Amino acid sequence: MHTNVKVLLAKPGLDGHDRGAKVIAIALKEAGMEVIYMGLHQTLEAIVAAAVQEDVDIIGLSILSGGHIPICRRLMELLAEEGIDDIAVCVGGVIPKRDVPVLKEMGVKGIFPGGANLREMTETLKALAG
């Protein structure tokens, strides 16, 4: 297993509710991971560019507006175009249960609806970076 897991966290799109993203950033840091928090209003293109530049293991998106399906689909396409689809994509936020299989189907590796257990999340991320 990686000793130094590197995670890029960002909030794509226009939604500015970042309490969850910041809580995750702190939780992952507390678990010993390296976290790059890009902050609010990020474009997917900027996220992919940062992922390449920083050579991260995981991209974590926080989405609360309800737009997680189109946003994740587009991100997966961009990663494939860049040839970096070995980076594991995780998403957290307001995600209804019925959307979980849709996200899995498109290759999202970790799905964490609000209230997800922080310990389990850090374990999942460590395993994904494995």
Partner 1 sequence: MDVARYIKNEKDQIEDVILSSGIHVKPKYGPEDLEAVGFDYQKDLGEPGEFPFTRNLFAEGYRTREWTTRQYTGFGTPRETNERFRLMIDHGQTGLNVAFDLPTQMGLDSDHPLAWGEVGRVGMAVDSLRDFEVAFAGIDLHKVGAGLTINAVASIMLAMYQAVAEKLGFDRTKISATPQNDILKEVLGRGAWIYALEPAVKLIGDTIEYSMTTMPRTNPVSVCGYHIRESGATPAQEMAYAFLIANAYIDEVAKRGYEPEEFVGRFSFNFNIFGNLWEQVAKFRAGRKVWAHNLSDRYQVKNPKNLWLRGLFAGGGSGLTKAEPENNIMRGAFYGLAAALSGAQSTALCSFDEAFTIPTPRSALLSLRTLQILMDEVGMRDTVDPLAGSYFIETLTKQMEEKIWEEMREIEEQGGVIKAITNGYLPRKLAWQAYEFERDVQKGDLIKVGVNKYAEEEDADVDLHEYNEAWAEEKLADLVELKRTRDSAAVASSLKNLEAVARAGGNVMPALVESCKAYATVGEMSDVFRDVYGVFKEPSIF
Which residues form the interface with partner 1 (CB under 8 A)? 11, 13-19, 22-23, 25-27, 29, 35, 37, 39-41, 43, 65-67, 70-71, 94, 96-97, 113-115, 117-119
Q: Which is nearer to partner 1, 81 or 130 (CB)?
A: 81
Rama region for 94: left / alpha / beta (φ>0; ψ in -120 to 50; rest)? beta
Q: How far is the CB of 45 from partner 1 (least distance, A)?
A: 11
* Cβ-based nearer residue to partner 1, 26 or 80: 26
Q: C-beta of 4: minimal distance to partner 1 in Å?
A: 16
Rounded least distance, CB 23 to partner 1, Å: 5
**124 in the Ramachandran plot: left (φ > 0), alpha (ψ -120 to 50) or beta?**
alpha
Q: Which residues does 47 contact at the CB level (< 8 Å), separation at least 6?
A: 8, 10, 12, 38, 59, 61, 75
